[in-house]
Amino acid sequence: MVGWGFAFGRGFVVLLWSIVWAIVAGIVGVLVIGGSLSSLVSNPTAVTSNPTGFITGFLAASFLGIFLIIFIAVIGLYATIVKVAVDGALSQLEKSGQYNRGSSSTGSQSMGSQPTLVAPAMRKFCANCGTALPGGTAKCPNCGASL
């Protein structure tokens, strides 16, 4: 079971990353809208000769900028939620002994490889106290009974 402190900590991480994604999305949107506006305004004779084209171009760039802002912020938020949730779940599984990080913490694991989950039925338990035993142990780490 996950405690409230753990949950609030993960929620705070999601909040901070959502702010980062909103800033990145805002920068991209400002660059798109500002770039189109500056290209339209840089040629004032074209604006005065075709004001409808100016308005249409600016509105199209504005809608594109707004779409990109929303798209980047939402996809970034979803990706952050997935990453934080999976990292939290693996952390909890690691604490319970059902997850073996193995070589993934050293970075030597190849891309696309999956973490190792230990099946509960395959685990050994101490006959004396019932504690789950790590592989290759000769004595129980909890009660010291010989195996």
* 100 three-class SS: strand
| Element of type H or E holding 53 | helix 51-96
Tell me how long the chain is.
147
Mean pLDDT of all residues belonging to the chain: 82
Site of tokens 């994604």: 21
Q: Quick check: 118 and 99 in contact, CB under 8 A?
A: yes
Per-residue pLDDT at 105: 45
More confident residue, 145 or 77: 77
117/110 Cα distance (integer angstroms): 17
| pLDDT, tens digit (0-9, with 9 covering 90-100), for 22-40 | 999 999 999 999 888 887 7
pLDDT at 24: 96
Distance CA 17, CA 8 (A): 14
Where are the domains positioned within the chain?
A: 4-96
Q: Which residues pair with 146 in a beta bridge?
A: 139
Q: Please give the backbone phi and psi of residue 142, each rounded to the nearest 5 degrees, phi first.
A: -90, -55
Report pLDDT digits (tens) over 34-81: 888 887 778 777 777 888 887 888 888 899 999 999 999 999 999 999
Among candidate residues 81, 79, 95, the one with its CA nearest the CA of residue 2: 95
> Residue 85: which of 135, 35, 11 has the closest Cα?
11
Write the burial class of residue 95 (CB in 10 Å: 0-12 exposed, 13-18 middle, 19+ buried). exposed
pLDDT given for residue 112 in this prediction: 54
Higher-confidence position of 16 and 92: 16
Supply angle C-alpha 139, 132, 137, rounded to 5.
30
